[in-house]
Amino acid sequence: DSKSGVSGAGRSPKQNTHFVEASNNFSPYKIGRTHRHLPEMEQAIAQWHPNPPQLIFSPHLLPVPRGILSNVYVQVAGTVDEEQVREVYGRFYANKPFIKVLPAGKLATLAHAVHTNRCAISITVTGSTIILTSAIDNLIKGAAGQAVQNMNVMFELDETTGLIG
């Protein structure tokens, strides 16, 4: 599930993103298998998993202008050690300047990412469930920041050039 600021719902005016509707409210939209980004998510998972599961995605609208906070729930066979999962993520993202794997006991919040190109990730393990929480600023880490970051890589510039980390 993801919680998005009103800018995450797009630029077209809609009743649910109008200030008087969104203020002091927290509401789901396009839950289940109806969200337009679901095929992209499943395509990304298929690159890593030979038999990818069918995803259920439940986005919610937060009364804030920007940011996306997501929880991903991964069921594993048996139990898993939280610190081992954190170490795997830490090694995988060690050289990624905009990915911050948070230490034990810290949960990702919008404050970790808003107004930056950063993605903050926290890891929680409960029995056989890994809960990954991520926070991004959808107006920077979204398409705009991604375009600048990709351009930097294409032109062999430092990946962080022109971006707030």
Q: What is the 3-state secondary structure (H, E, C) of 64-121?
A: CCCCEEEEEEEECCCCCCHHHHHHHHHHHCCCCCCEEECCCCCCCCHHHCCCCCCEEE
The string of pLDDT tens digits covering residues 94-143 is: 999 999 999 999 999 999 999 999 999 999 999 999 999 999 999 998 77
> Where does the pLDDT of residue 9 fall: very low under 50, low under 70, confident under 90, or very high at 90 and above?
low
Superfamily of domain 1-64: Dihydrodipicolinate Reductase; domain 2 (3.30.360.10)
Domain ranges of the chain: 1-64, 66-165
Domain boundaries 66-165, corresponding CATH code: 3.30.360.10
Tell me if 1-64 shares its fold with 66-165.
yes
With 0.85 as the threshold, say if the pTM is over it: yes
